[in-house]
Chain A
Amino acid sequence: MSVQMMTYLFVGITFLLYITIAIKSRASSTSDFYIAGAHVPPLANGLATAADWMSAASFISMAGIISFMGRDGSVYLMGWTGGYVLLAMLIAPYLRDFGKFTVPDFIGERYYSQTARMVALLCALFISFTYVAGQMRGVGVVFSRFLEVDINMGVLIGMTIVFFYAVLGGMKGITYTQVAQYCVLIFAFMVPAIFISLLLTGNVIPHLGFGSELRPEFGGGYLLDRLDGLNQELGFAAYTEGIRSKLDVLFITAALMLGTAGLPHVIIRFFTVPSVRAARKSALYALIFIAILYTTAPTIAAFARTNLINTVSNVEYSAMPEWFKTWEATNLISFEDKNNDGRIQYLDDPQTNELTVDRDIIVLANPEIAQLPNWVIALVAAGGLAAALSTAAGLLLVISSAISHDLLKSNLMPDINEKTELLSARIAIFFAVCIAGYFGINPPGFVAEVVAFAFGLASSSFFPAIVLGIFYKRMNKEGAISGMLVGIIFTAGYIIYYTFINPAADNAAGWWMGISPEGIGTFGTLLNFLTAIVVCHLTAAPPQEVQDMVEDIRVPG
């Protein structure tokens, strides 16, 4: 069977599975729709949270980014897993005890203010739309590269599938499809990793292969030492050494951690379990399931880079294997013979370098580079789609509940009955899918910056407001609202300045104190905390019933 036939088969089977699950788990109440009736067992929620969290970027791009960044890539590894520790200990159990439907719900009630709820709602919408557009794009990219359909057609197919199960099942449908999607994506991620580890080091466990010696035909010696050497021979920095400033690395890592803990689509997953203890337990499961991918990604990064350099460096262009030509056709690899010697020079110096490699290729072409069987290639396509669809669905639900629950039910039309609210939630998903699809087909030219934006915003707005709401009883609405506004305005201002107003200064020398826009969310978060505490002490304490509520969510039961 050809690779393409097999890919159609795998993708078809997984889509059929998702749709079957959706039909079996239709939502009949708003509680079903928003939080799956709070009946999800911790293990299932852990699996669903992991799929919810790991997006197209984690699956397709992350290992590639690390492959090119070497040790500096650790910001993503620690940042996107370390945030779970914050989530598990500082947020999830208490918000579960609070027991409502959305994050703006908590902000609105804890700070007894519709203004606070609206600020939270706008942040949730912005973060989710930013993110979901990227997922839709990811779906389109996978379709176009593996199935050779038009990228816009791919986005449309993805939209239809997500729309179908999100509208039918709400959170209930999404949860169980996410469980299935986790299984598909982790299998698809691990199989090539195991194969390439075997190929290069003879070790079946990639984590051990990472620290093992290369097989003699690849030059022997420890993998990482060999990779350091290869990198340096070609003029790159040694793989295991960083080139970014320590301060910037620290700020970026912290911003990603704080942002992770403040992302509404992840937080609401903890509303779906039956108890506080179940919330703690599912946070542990989620972290374990995420860690399987996140500890494997750096191994793929190192294996793939070694293999890539071995395959291409100073080798004749005419001797390149089949995959080189196929991926050249997609423009992910390009070769320009600057010195006309017919060989590929892959160097750090842009003057003499002849090879450009897109970071996505590390995961997408890995099975071919490592000469794995066709079914593994098909599997990677299905895995990439599972990662993108599962995250998109979680985000769409946040958008829909923000509109139907926080905007309509809690604010504009408090008198609507449950049936109308449920209907409006479904209509909201429909519009959200359409908007997300539009951005997937016509992506704004600055997707990467916008994602930094989403994290910066989540960390500088939600994280302090939620944590202070739980751990600082005296925190009042004046403090929380002014803190959120200062955090958002500062962070957004900094990112907008370097992205749109003065992009020429967007480099280490031009940044304020050497902190990149990616890391500025950390400073925004600190400003938020500081402003909130100062303002809170200048204004009246929150009403007694709010203080009682805080007492209440601190104790499970």
Chain B
Amino acid sequence: MKHYEKDSPGYWGENVRILQVLMGTWCVVSFILGILLVDQLDAIRFAGFKLGFWLSQQGAIFIYILLVYIYLKAMDRLDEKYHLNDKE
């Protein structure tokens, strides 16, 4: 039997809010910083990199990993809060 309850809109609402924040960051990093503002960011330099170039070739990928990691942890906490026991 599923643990699904009719009164779980709270769970879904929180889930959607987590996604909004993370997907919003994803959008900003990929499209705004990584593509549209890349020339402006290039004015900033660190080591041998221009920031915009580095972000679009490497940095964005590291941020993606971080986002998925935060997602995993946030959902773990949410599942626990609503006592959703999804055994591995």
* CB pair A555 B11 closer than 8 Å: yes
Known contacts A223-B48, A224-B53, A277-B79; A287/B30 CB under 8 A: no
Interface size class of A (residues with CB under 8 A): 35 or more
**B23 close to A (CB within 8 Å):** yes
A51 to B80, CA, bound (A): 32
- Name the distance in Å between A43's Cβ and chain B's nearest Cβ: 11
A211 to B58, CA, bound (A): 11
Secondary structure type dominating chain A contacts: helix
Mark A235-251 against chain B: 1 for CB-CB distance below 8 A, else 0. 00000111000100110
A198 to B42, CA, bound (A): 26
**A361 close to B (CB within 8 Å):** no
Cβ–Cβ < 8 Å partners of B26 in chain A? 82, 85
Cβ–Cβ < 8 Å partners of B69 in chain A? 284
Closest to B64 in A: A85
**A49 close to B (CB within 8 Å):** no
Cβ–Cβ < 8 Å partners of A225 in chain B? 48
A213 to B34, CA, bound (A): 24
Cβ–Cβ < 8 Å partners of A66 in chain B? 57
* CB pair A556 B79 closer than 8 Å: yes
Known contacts A85-B68, A211-B47, A556-B79; A295/B12 CB under 8 A: no
**A180 close to B (CB within 8 Å):** no
Q: A77's contact among B22, B42, B61, by CB below 8 Å, is which?
A: B61
* CB pair B61 A555 closer than 8 Å: no
- Name the distance in Å between B48's Cβ and chain A's nearest Cβ: 3
* CB pair B72 A280 closer than 8 Å: yes
A222 to B50, CA, bound (A): 11
Cβ–Cβ < 8 Å partners of A278 in chain B? 88
Cβ–Cβ < 8 Å partners of A274 in chain B? 87-88
**What would 7 more interface pairs be, CB under 8 Å, given A71-B57, A224-B48, A291-B64?**
A78-B61, A84-B64, A89-B23, A207-B58, A277-B88, A554-B12, A557-B86
Can you report 18 residue pairs joining A to B where beta carbons are below 8 Å apart? A73-B57, A77-B56, A81-B60, A82-B26, A82-B60, A84-B68, A85-B26, A90-B23, A211-B47, A277-B79, A278-B88, A280-B72, A280-B75, A291-B62, A551-B6, A554-B11, A554-B15, A555-B5
